[in-house]
Amino acid sequence: MMPGKERENVNFGGKIILPPSSLQRLSQLHIEYPMLFELKNKKLGLSTHAGVLEFIAEEGRCYLPRWMLATLGIQEGEVIEIENTSLALGKFVKIQPQSVNFLDISDPKAVLEQAFRYFSCLTQGDIITISYNDTLYDILVMETKPSEKGISIIETDLEVDFAAPKGYVEPTYNKPAAKYTPTSINEHTVKEETGFKSFNGQGQRLNNKTGDSMYNTSLGETVKENNIPNALILPEGKLYFGYKIVPLGSDVETEPERFAGTGQSLRQKKKK
């Protein structure tokens, strides 16, 4: 309703525009800066808080953002009471977007930081309106600390907590059916196979030796049932190569000497 081009920081902020006479009156009083005001609609008993942007309004008029008019329950041209006040510096605020469309914003923290630059204070219970990418978002101020009445957000470290947007439904996921997992071996049902079974006979050793041992029994290896050998566990620092080892320089032979016969030389030795 203010003459001139519409200013976004006025309609989507938390500051009002007062006439020059109010500045003259305030300068004569002992007030705290920055200037903060409490706006009251005595007919409905509603109130909110705001900062001041400029003193350029016509005498007898005050320009408010549209969301502030809705909070006070008034229409253009109605009378309200404006009183200078002071608020504690805010430490914490909890907000709730009034639409799930707020979740479409990729970086809501940056958007709120930009929007709060046009606010001097926040009042618990107010539904403020911000604009982003030509879209309007209504946000409910659910809780303010340290004062439930309202807080000042000028030059303070404010912690912001988000509540789930109004109308938001937690997505549900269909869990796959749990597969049966036996807790013991006895729960397994083993079916006997019938018909032809491959490799089910007995074998013959090529060296005609008897016994089921597959490894040297001197190493402590034995064979279990079904010809399954035990694990080969050797003392620390020893290796197993499958045959006995004669250490270098030792005269003790642990294996029988092979090719022990005398040979014939094809070249006769020359007589000296």
Q: Which among 140, 129, 130 is positioned nearest to 94, based on CA atoms?
A: 140
- Domains annotated for the chain, with CATH where assigned, are 8-86 (2.40.40.50), 89-162 (3.10.330.10)
Q: What is the pLDDT of residues 25-74, one digit of tens each?
A: 999 988 888 999 999 999 999 999 999 999 999 999 999 999 999 999 99
Q: What is the pLDDT of residues 199-255, one digit of tens each?
A: 666 666 676 665 544 444 444 444 445 566 667 777 887 777 665 666 676 555 555
Rg of the chain taking only CA atoms, in angstroms? 47
Q: Which two tokens stand for residue 150?
A: 């309202």
Q: Which helix (H) or strand (E) holds 49?
A: strand 46-54
Tell me the pTM.
0.62
